[in-house]
Structures are given as C-alpha cells and as structure tokens.
Amino acid sequence: MSGLKTRFPRYAKLLLLYPTAYRKRYENELLQTTADMLDHANGQLERLGIWAQLIFDLPVNVVRQQLSYAGGIMTQTMPHYIKRSSLVSAALLLPFFAALVGNALGTIITGRNLYHSWVWSAPILTTWILLFPLAALFVAGISYAVYIVRNAPQRSLYKKVFDVVNSWPLLLSGLAACSILLVFVFHDSVQCWSRGPITHFHAAMQCTASNSVNPVDAVKRAF
C-alpha cells in the first residue's frame, strides 16, 4: 500500500485531514479506489475531471467525518450526570431567551414591546432574568466540580479543568448563564443596583423593570 502513497503523495497528505481512526480504516481503500478511477480513465481530460472531483469531494467529507467523530466521542463517552445537568441548566435559561424572543416578536408584529407587561413585572422579571440564570450557573458549576473531582486522579488539575470533550454542554450552559448575568448587571439595572442590591433587592428589581436607561449610559455610570 505504500506504493499507492508514493503514487499519489500529495493526495495521501491531504488524507491526513481525516480523523485518525477513519484514516486508519479507509486510507488504503481511498487511495486504491482513486488509483482504480485513474487507471480506468480514458485520456488526460477524464483524468483531470477525476482529480477535480477528488479535490471537491475531499473537504466536504473531511468536515463531515471530523464532526461525526467529534460528536461520536462527545455523546458516547459523556457521563449521564453531565447530560442531565446540562439539560436542566439549559431549561433554566430558556425563559430568558423566550422573553427576549417574545419581546422582539412583539416589537416587530405589534410595534409594542413587553416592557410594561407581566413578563417585565418585578417578581417574574426577577425569576427569568436573575434567579433562573443563577440556578443554571449553580447546576452547571456543581456538576462541573463533580466532573473535575471524578476525572482521572492521575491527571493534573489543569488537564482536568480543560478536558472539555465530555463537559462542553456544561461549559456552554454555564457561560450562557454568566453572560446573561453580566448583561443584567451592566444593563439598565446597574444604577438601581448600585444603590444597594442586597438590602433593597425588591426595590432594585422594580427600579430595573420601570427603567429605560441607555445601556451606554449605564456602563458609563458603572465605571
């Protein structure tokens, strides 16, 4: 089979783009089939057409195989508690995105936003903009901590923390929750919260709900 690699050295190098497991299984056959195609071609023009087909065929299938292998590894070896926690965490973030989408649709369809509706009223607003994202962050954080503790003990902490192959859904939902909370802090509410977020929580939420401060001004005030 090394003869085929010698015959098509550049094509053989391009095959290195495939996932290793796939390449080990199919590299020889890919080269053999390529050789068969070229051997049966009638004339230079047909051979040129075959090379064009090979070049266009390669990137699409490299991407498909890379995604397939990555997806396979992630779903097959991912512990169940990570899948469950990720789902719970994502579900807790859904109301936030649903509220934003609902607000955008309301603005587009009726020309009115939901700022004065029950969705933006204090107790509900507190729930979807703060409590649920906090809960999502908590669930993702606890599960990630469990993942790090349960990870192979002989590995370094650095490797455990950044072993994202099996933990990416948790990281994703955790980062989404963090982003929501950061947006919340730096949004209209910042001026309300700067008055005392702990002692005047309800008042701060009411203030946030009735507030319509320009986000740029809010950031300026924050700093």
Partner 1 sequence: MRSKNLLPQLSFSILLALSLKPRHGYEIMQQVKEDSQNKISIGPGSLYTAIKQLSDERLIEEVPETHNRRKYYQLTDKGKKRLAVELDYFKMSVQLAERRNVFESFGGTA
Q: Which residues bind partner 1 (CB under 8 A)?
A: 1, 22, 25-26, 29-30, 32-34, 36-37, 40, 53-54, 56-58, 60-62, 64-65
Residue-level length of the chain: 223
Minimum distance of partner 1 from residue 14's CB (angstroms): 10
Residue (54 or 91) nearer to partner 1, CB: 54
Structure tokens of 125? 């607003």
Q: What does the alpha-carbon distance between residue 3 and residue 18 come to, in Å, rounded to a whole number? A: 20
Minimum distance of partner 1 from residue 70's CB (angstroms): 15
Minimum distance of partner 1 from residue 67's CB (angstroms): 11
Contact (CB, 8 A) for 142 and 91: no
Residue-wise DSSP of 41-105: --HHHHHHHHHHHHHHHHHHHHHHHHHHHHHHHHHHHS-HHHHHHHHHHHHHHHHHHHHHHHHHH
Q: What does the alpha-carbon distance between residue 106 and residue 99 come to, in Å, rounded to a whole number? A: 10
Residue (38 or 100) nearer to partner 1, CB: 38
Minimum distance of partner 1 from residue 65's CB (angstroms): 7
